[in-house]
Amino acid sequence: MAKHRLLFIFSLILVLGSFAQTEDADSVVVKRLVSPSLYLDYGKLLTIPTNFETKYEGGIEILFLEKFPLIIEAGQATLSPEGAYSNGIYESEGFYYRIGAGYYSQFLAKNKIGISFRYASSTFTEDGRIFIESPSGAQGDFIQNIIREDLKATWYEVVVYSDQKLTDLFTIGVNLRLRVMAEYDRQSPVEVYSIPGYGRSFDRTIPAVNFFLKVTF
């Protein structure tokens, strides 16, 4: 996890440094006033065959003057992490969205880099069961059922963006994210474990990577 945070910080420094170097190149390009796009996080589709998580995510981007993006993202996730409870089963399922804005710069003829900031929210349910057997039999077995609905969480993200234009229609790229927890609905005696769209609740910051395919109109 620490290595991922260092990678994010290093990428952020490169992006900020590149903005200064590409400012003159941007000024000579004729820019479209508005460029709407739809995109799909194709990396999430790789989770479908797994038995521990299933995720779908996409978004809408409206790019003004080819520099200033307004971004709306939405997704759905079902998380069944192994080892969430040492003696039990667990599943978290819900929907999430993010909204934000940022700045892009033309790095090369077919490449953009950028940085943006997002506000995110998730609404989800938890379903699980914890059971502890008494080795001696002197006490009864302990069973704790977990059924929670309409849980909520919010967080913020700093996103470093990089893309490569394939054609006038299609672009591929990557988002390097640093998520910072704001708040979530705490529970007792067993705390919330996984938050769809964010990750493990006890990690106050989480780095993440998204690979996307964008269609620009």
Query: Tens-of-pLDDT digits for all 217 residues of the chain?
Result: 555 455 555 455 454 544 445 444 444 556 789 999 999 999 888 777 777 788 899 999 999 998 999 999 999 999 988 777 777 788 999 999 999 999 999 888 889 999 999 999 999 999 988 776 655 555 556 677 889 999 999 999 999 999 999 999 999 999 999 999 999 999 887 889 999 999 999 899 999 999 999 999 9
Rounding to the nearest 10 degrees, give the CA dihedral for residues 179, 185, 153, 57.
100
* Token pair 């995110």: residue: 120
- Sequential DSSP letters for 73-111: EEEEEEE--TTSSTTEEEEEEEEEEEEEEEEEEEEETTE
In 3-state terms, the chain is what percent helix, strand and coil (to 5)?
A: 15, 60, 25
* Token pair 């033309």: residue: 106
pLDDT of residue 80: 87
Q: What's the whole-model pTM score?
A: 0.81
